[in-house]
Structure 1
């Protein structure tokens, strides 16, 4: 019989990993957008 506490812990861990991955992806997208804007609007 599975221990409910470890099952909950696993799902919490999975959610945490998903959130971290989403945060990372959002940061990468933002960096890409900023870089594209900088390329299309050269300063100077």
Structure 2
């Protein structure tokens, strides 16, 4: 079994979905952090 990495666009999509469902602040505190962390384990 292999684990597929989540692409940054998918992480942002999940975040947007959570915001619509639960509320909160949009945007990113550190814009490049998601991009760098998404592929770090791989």
Superposition TM-score tier, normalisation by shorter sequence: 0.3 to 0.5
Q: Larger radius of gyration, structure 1 or 2?
A: 1
The one of the two structures with greater contact order (alpha-carbon pairs below 8 A, sep at least 6) is 2
